[in-house]
């Protein structure tokens, strides 16, 4: 139990939690967007909860395999392709909505598929955060504690984003524009290309998209009030 008694170890754990949160901003955006495919608020919150436990179990396994994950560029490639598929699929449905009752029933039956997708995406995004955590400390217990608390905080951020999407509908297409950027960012990190987009650039893109989306939202609200 030296981990619990050492102030130095706890400071490392805190550093890993902060690192996890910073590296998981894009993950939170993806998770929030995925939960929007569920029809009710209760299902969205349930998916986040079950996805949390699934991510915890997978994180135990992945930390144990952490030393081998540096070679798993195929996972990043697969993740980038899957994210781009989500973007294309969303905008296809966004511009060609199908409001039939059959489609609605199909949509309501996707709860567990969303949970599985969330756990799968967390595994892909965890590659970078686990490797970064292992670079801070080689103690698997410290890395595990920091990572698990980081996942919990990240799920909280995702829930905030979900609530904002419910109030500002324009945030959902914005999130998928951001997911497209994340997919490109993830693809560029594979060893064959090896281009790392700085986190500062990512933050600027996020802020710019949010400001543009809020501008569109309030403009539409203003136009709607004028017509009343």
Q: Is 196 exposed, middle or buried (0-12, 13-18, 19+ CB in 10 A)?
A: exposed
pLDDT in tens, 106-130: 444 478 888 888 888 777 777 666 6
Which domain range does residue 148 map to? 2-227
Q: Which residues, 6 or more positions from 149, have their beta carbon under 8 angstroms from its beta carbon?
A: 13, 17, 20
User: What pTM was computed for the model?
Assistant: 0.67
- Cα 222 → chain centroid: 32
pLDDT in tens, 204-225: 888 888 899 999 999 998 888 8
Q: Give the pLDDT confidence score for residue 216 in this predicted structure.
A: 93
Quick check: 169 pLDDT over 80?
yes
Of residues 104, 102, 120, the one with CA closest to residue 112: 120
Separation CA 27–CA 165 (nearest Å): 16
Q: Give the pLDDT confidence score for residue 227 in this predicted structure.
A: 80
In the chain, the number of structural domains is 1
Q: Give the pLDDT confidence score for residue 88 in this predicted structure.
A: 92
Residue pair 148/142 in contact (Cβ under 8 Å)? The answer is no
């Amino acid at each position: 139990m030296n981990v619990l008694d050492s102030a130095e170890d706890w400071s490392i754990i805190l550093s890993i939690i902060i690192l996890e949160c910073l590296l998981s901003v894009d993950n939170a955006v993806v998770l929030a967007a995925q939960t929007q495919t569920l029809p009710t608020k209760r299902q969205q919150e349930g998916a986040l909860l079950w996805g949390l436990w699934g991510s915890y179990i997978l994180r135990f396994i992945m930390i144990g395999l952490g030393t081998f994950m540096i070679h798993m560029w195929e996972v990043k490639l697969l993740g980038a392709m899957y994210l781009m598929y989500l973007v294309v699929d969303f905008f296809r449905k966004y511009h060609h909505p199908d409001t039939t009752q059959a489609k609605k029933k199909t949509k309501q039956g996707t709860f567990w598929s969303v949970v599985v997708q969330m756990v799968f995406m967390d595994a892909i995004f965890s590659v970078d955060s686990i490797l970064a955590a292992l670079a801070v400390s080689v103690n698997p217990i410290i890395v595990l504690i920091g990572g698990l608390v980081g996942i919990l905080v990240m799920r909280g951020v995702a829930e905030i984003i979900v609530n904002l999407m419910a109030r500002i509908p324009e945030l959902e297409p914005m999130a998928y524009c951001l997911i497209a950027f994340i997919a490109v960012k993830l693809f560029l990190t594979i060893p064959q290309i090896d281009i790392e987009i700085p986190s500062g650039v990512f933050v600027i893109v996020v802020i710019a998209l949010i400001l543009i989306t809020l501008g569109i939202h309030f403009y539409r609200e203003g136009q709607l009030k004028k017509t009343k």
